[in-house]
Amino acid sequence: MTLISPQAALIDQVTKEFPSGNDVIQVLHGISLGIDYGKMTMLVGPSGCGKTTVLSILSGTLSATSGTVTVMKKRLDRLKNDDLVRFRRRKIGFIFQQYNLIPTLNVAENAAIPLIADGVAWEDALNQSGRMLDHLGLGPHKAKYPRQLSGGQQQRVAIARALSHNPALVVCDEPTAALDAASGQAVMALLEEAADDPNRAVLVVTHDDRIFSFADRIVRMEDGRVIDDGLTQPLPPKGLRR
């Protein structure tokens, strides 16, 4: 079974509760979800249904209340905190809605952070991230600072940062929410290309229907549960939509 669909990440029977006053609120109700290599998986659903929570748990930034989390055959729920941090830095690429670039570092340095944090020498790290920036069309902007770039360009820098260490899993939370349509399409095209790699899985959380057409698979959530797992394109092709 796993031979047919090798999975980069798998959460099984995961629940998540948050404390709320003296009470707890249950946000995830026993979710199971696998993320495949070589595909772009989109997680969609109404606001507050638990998409970000799933992405956080799956990427090892948040611990589940119960259930198992396996990424690249490693049980994240069993890793010690420092090992978990190191695992994230080596195996996972992160893209945030607000880009979260460091304003006082230039583009090349921002993109090199995961490499530098992992002990790659400064020069080598800048070279490696520089190649990624060239590839993403940001070559001329390497020495600029984030505030000198448009939102779309900043998000592309964030993509370079997420891909510079060649991670096997890339997670993106609302990567286009802060962008205009054209920039959003450009960003998604780059992520689509990244997902084409058979050694990489890309998970995009979004409720931006303008980008649904980039998905290889769309998982719909509602109220902490998966309600629909469309393994095929559920929407008409791009040209037929607004």
Partner 1 sequence: MNDENELKLRSSLMVSFGTQPRSRSILGMVGIALKMLMGDPVKYFGLVFGIGFSTLLMSQQASIFVGLLTWGANPVLDVRQAQVWVMDPRVKQPDQGQAISDQSLYRVRSVDGVAWAVPYARSAATVKTMQGNIAAVTLVGVDNQSMVGLPEENLANSMSAIRGRNAAILDGNTQHLIWADGRDPIGQVVEINDNRVVVTGLTSSLTNFSGLPTLYMKYSDAIAITPPERNKLSFVLVEPKPGVTPEDLAERISEVTGLKALTRQQFAAAGTQFIIENTGIPISFGAAIGLGILVAVVITALTLAMFVAENLKNFGALKAIGVTNRQILVMVLSQALLVGFIGYGIGIGGTAAFLYFGQADPSLRGFKALGEIVGGSALLVMIIVLGSAYVSVRKVLKLDPAIVFRG
Q: Which is nearer to ligand ATP, 7 or 52 (CB)?
A: 52
Q: Which is nearer to Mg ion, 52 or 213 (CB)?
A: 52
Burial class (CB in 10 A: 0-12, 13-18, 19+), 204: buried
Residue 131 Cβ, how far from ligand ATP at the closest point, in Å?
33
- Piece of 1-9, 51-59, 77-85, 210-218 that binds ligand ATP (CB under 6 A): 51-59
**Number of residues that make up the chain:** 242
Judged by CB under 5 A, the residue of 15, 26, 52, 128 near Mg ion is 52
Contact 50, 205 (CB under 8 A): no
Sign of CA dihedral 1, 34, 6, 208: positive
Judged by CB under 6 A, the residue of 39, 51, 91, 165 near ligand ATP is 51
Q: Among partner 1, ligand ATP, Mg ion, none, what binds residue 90 when CB lies within 5 to 8 Å by partner kind?
A: partner 1
Going by C-alpha positions, the residue among 179, 233, 209, 187 that lies closest to residue 39 is 233
Check residue 27 for interaction with ligand ATP (CB under 6 A). Answer: yes
Tell me which residues in 27-46 interact with Mg ion (CB under 5 A): none
Q: Please report, to the nearest 10 degrees, the dihedral formed by the alpha carbons of residues 36, 40, 41, 45 taken in order.
A: 170
Going by C-alpha positions, the residue among 9, 7, 6 that lies closest to residue 58 is 9
Judged by CB under 6 A, the residue of 14, 39, 50, 171 near ligand ATP is 50
Going by C-alpha positions, the residue among 87, 80, 82 that lies closest to residue 9 is 87
**Site map (CB under 6 A) of ligand ATP, residues 172-211, x = contact:** -----------------------------------x----
